[in-house]
Amino acid sequence: MMPDVPLAPMTTIGLGGRARWLARCSDAGELRDALSFAAREGLPVQVFSGGSNIIFADEGFEGVAVNVGLRGIRSEESSGEIRLAAGAGEPWDGVVALAVEKGWGGIECLSGIPGSTGGTPVQNVGAYGQEVAETLTSVRALDRVTLAEREFTREECAFGYRESRFKREDADRYIITEVTFLLGKNRKPEIRYAELRKEIDARGGDLSLRAVRGAVIGLRRKKSMVVDPSDGNSRSVGSFFTNPVVSKEFFESRLKETPVPTYPAPGGVKLSAAWLVEHAGFPRGFTKNGAGISDNHALAIVNRGGKTADVLALASEIEKGVEMKYGVRLRREAVVAGTGRGNP
């Protein structure tokens, strides 16, 4: 347990104050010790790992910031399928890279996504036509109250678009410790996303797992969605907002005449949040008070030398602008932690 630790360097956006206490946990026992300490001291807890989807308040976090660093990868093959288990603290792109190198298909389109493996089930990470819910088979987690371990099946995770039970009804109840996926040996990629298909064709049409991974990373790099210290546009938490899903009735009555890109969604219509942001008056490159929109991706709010407060003020302004013009309320994908007195 370390006191008074700066949090900004532990995040991809590089913002936030200091943690009253930081616990770096490499196994379940250390997680239990950190949670027990917080309970004894009556302190709030904020769990994070890779720091790619979290923004800490300028005032810091007056509690215990628990950094999940459980590592280790195991695999076993049966009937042409690979069961791949990874510790929650394993860098996600490293897991994808290993699978691709071994010829195990199913997560190649999720290449280049920053953060840890344990974070992928929480928001059902997805990109370019794939999401982890398709291949995930189970999640091991630690109950933050009882300190007992529990295993969840894919069905029990209750996945939805960029969400799961760990983000909804069980938010802040469990700490994920390990995630298991079922991948296919020499499985050919399914290219479902037009932009990715175009990139693959431009590269010669190679549909090997390695080629698809390369194309995905190439696309993400063009959008500054690969963490790169030399690229100021990558000082973000990736997409700050999710694509909103509205009812068919709302779409027909309010948005049918607008050229907003749409996608199929269960029970409604999914809209392009990036289009809504740009057409509500917030173009790429827009900057205000040390925070701005990426030059390469309309959904990435970038740290341009400001503070967390600047990023959150811009996010609020964007939300109000989109709602005023289109009647659609954007939902934040990023986690905002700490107000100087614990969780917001």
Nearest in space to 226 (alpha carbons), one of 93, 113, 91, 96: 113
**145 CB neighbour count, 10 Å cutoff:** 9
Nearest in space to 14 (alpha carbons), one of 294, 305, 286: 305
73 near 28, Cβ under 8 Å? Answer: no
DSSP β-bridge partners for residue 307: none
Q: What angle do CA 343, 293, 314 make, to 5 degrees?
A: 45
**189 CB neighbour count, 10 Å cutoff:** 23
Nearest in space to 225 (alpha carbons), one of 119, 148, 166, 302: 302
Give me the phi and psi of 220, to 5 degrees please: -65, -40
Q: What angle do CA 73, 78, 83 make, to 5 degrees?
A: 30
| Dist. CA 165–CA 193, nearest whole Å | 27
Amino acid 4 reads D
Residues catalogued as catalytic: 162, 239, 333
| Dist. CA 117–CA 93, nearest whole Å | 8
Structure tokens given for 231 = 């690229």
